[in-house]
Amino acid sequence: MNSTKIIHNLPYKKPFLFVDELTEISENGVTGNYTFKEKEFFYEGHFKDNPITPGVILTETMAQIGVVCLGFFLLKDEISADKKPQIALTSNNIDFFLPVLPNEKIIVISTKEYFRFNKLKCSVKMINSKKELVCRGTISGMIIAK
């Protein structure tokens, strides 16, 4: 399953799809990016006259790229038109260091820690276009093709 097909098959759509491109993917990890557009739905209220991307959205972006996309790749032989993946976030532990502003492009780098019994745990980090660390941590989820 190639990167384009993985993104196309994700169970998200705008305005809750936070994956523009996957630049690397293998059995051991994934790298992808997303640009937070100025008109994203959450900027209007977070914060008034000083929009900043909410931490929960940054976490969701890391989960979509770093866990879900990688999980789809790892289950590529089990996923079909009849067997769509079911996904559930099971835990996360994220530390935040820098804000992400409207029109900012971020890169998510995820490394698989383990994938067994359909549970995927990854070390993830997000960097900005200046290669500065925005946030990092671990995210785990269950991915099952049914």
Secondary structure (H, E, C), the chain: CCHHHHHHHCCCCCCCCCCCEEEEEECCEEEEEEEECCCCCCHHHCCCCCCCCCHHHHHHHHHHHHHHHHHHHHCCCCCCCCCCEEEEEEEEEEEECCCCCCCEEEEEEEEEEEEECCEEEEEEEEEECCCCEEEEEEEEEEEEEC
**Residue 50, C-beta contacts closer than 8 angstroms, at least 6 positions apart:** none
The reply to whether 8 belongs to the active site is no
**Which one of the listed residues 46, 76, 119, 136 is annotated catalytic?**
46
- Residue tagged 């990092």 (tokens): 136
Active-site annotation, residues: 46
